[in-house]
Structure 1
Amino acid sequence: MTIERTVPSVTADERTMLEGWLDFHRRTLAMKCADLDDAQLRTASAAPSELSLMGLVRHMAEVERSWFRRVLADDDAGRIYSTGENRGGEFRLSESDTWQEAYATWQAEIAVARDNAARFTLDGMSTGRNRYTGEAVSLRWIYTHMIEEYARHNGHADLIRERIDGATGD
């Protein structure tokens, strides 16, 4: 699978720049997963950690859903992989978990995120609440947080991918 990635314009308006960097980081994670089989994508970074590339993709599907559906749009969408008794379930993979399902779920959540974000201005306040503070947040804050979230996990993905097959790069 070839993943196309474009560095955002240095002269774009703020919204275009934030959306561009978020998409850049989304595609970076997809690139880190490209050309690996399900077993490799389930490979944990290092014992005792359960962190894997497939787990990171499933986690980001949960994060996209949380911020762009539950917080931004006050959508009562439940969790995808985690439950009250299985927090972090996105990282606990079985042999039956597939890249095809994880990737499709992640892409579906990204599509909903884009649709929901299109209804708000950057200064538009969420109709849901931040679970940590109980406050509404702006779309600008969500974009900034999501860029940070992807950037952090892309660092993890770099190390996991290098461990799997030696591939490095940005």
Structure 2
Amino acid sequence: MVRGVVRPHRVLSGSWGEVIASNLDYHRATFRWKCEGLSEAQLRRRAVPPSELTLLGLMRHLQGVERHWLQRTLAGTTPAFPPYKTYVTAAGDEWYDDSDPTPAREVYEDYVRACQESREVFARATADTARIVPNTEFGATDVRFVLEHVIEEYARHVGHADLLREAIDGSTGE
């Protein structure tokens, strides 16, 4: 993957939108940093048995988070979701199947594209943070809740990426 990912400085004071946008970009860059320099095989490796999580699977999932929550739910767009292979878990949830043959480079480029698409609609989609948006997972929520949920998704999965990367090649770091 790409080398030399630089995490942006986070806005520590400013408008609510600036703070949230900078934190999202920080988490996006941190995730990319955890994936940088790894081979296709390493990105597909289930490194923490018995978990089936892989960095590539998380990458597929996070592009879906960007498109579902930021683009569709908040911005009201109709994003194009790649036809990645999925399966239904025992709990009835849909998850990306790591047997999907899409090359890691294409998944990475798609993830970067999804992040950029979200940045392009962010200001418009978050202008009214009290606006109520319907969603099938939580019911009607305001924009702030959805943004908090996206940051929660990133924080959780960057933590997973920390563990996966350390198990793959010993690399650690915040």
Global fold match (TM > 0.5): yes
Mapping of residues 1-170 of structure 1, within 5 Å: 1-77=3-79, 79-80=81-82, 81=84, 87-89=94-96, 92-94=97-99, 96-120=101-125, 121-123=127-129, 125=131, 129-138=134-143, 140-170=144-174
Residue correspondences, number: 166
SS in 2 for 1:131: coil
User: In structure 1, how many angstroms separate the alpha carbons of the residues matched to 2:33 and 2:128?
Assistant: 28
Q: CA deviation at 1:115?
A: 1.8
Please say which of residues 148-157 and 8-17 is displaced more in the overlay: 8-17
CA distance in 1, matches of 2:86, 2:170: 34
Aligned-residue CA RMSD (Å)? 2.2
Gapped regions of structure 2 (runs ≥ 5): none
Give SS of 1:88's match: strand
- Alpha-carbon distance between aligned partners in 1 of 2:130 and 2:120, rounded to the nearest angstrom: 15
- In 1, Cα distance between the equivalents of 2:114 and 2:35? 18
For residues 160 and 88 of structure 2, the distance between their equivalents in structure 1, rounded to whole angstroms, comes to 26
User: Deviations along 1:51-98, whole A, 9 cap, x unmatched?
Assistant: 001111110001111102221133344643366858202xx2237332
Whether the aligned pair in 2 keeps the contact of 1:161 and 1:167 (CA below 8 Å) is yes
CA distance in 2, matches of 1:72, 1:130: 10
- 1:74–1:129 CA contact under 8 A, matched in 2: no
Q: Percent identity?
A: 36
> What's the CA shift string for 1:86-122, capped at 9, x where partnerless?
8202xx2237332211111111111221122221314
Q: How many angstroms apart in 2 are the aligned matches of 1:85 and 1:156?
A: 21
Question: Which range moves more in the overlay, 114-123 or 58-67?
Answer: 114-123
Work out the CA distance in 2 between the residues paired with 1:118 and 1:63: 18
Checking the alignment, whether the CA contact within 8 Å between 2:58 and 2:157 is kept in structure 1 is yes
State the SS of the aligned residue for 2:142. Answer: coil
TM-score (norm. length: structure 1): 0.86
For residues 149 and 18 of structure 2, what CA distance do their matches in structure 1 show?
A: 16
With structure 2 as the length reference, what TM-score do the two structures score?
0.84
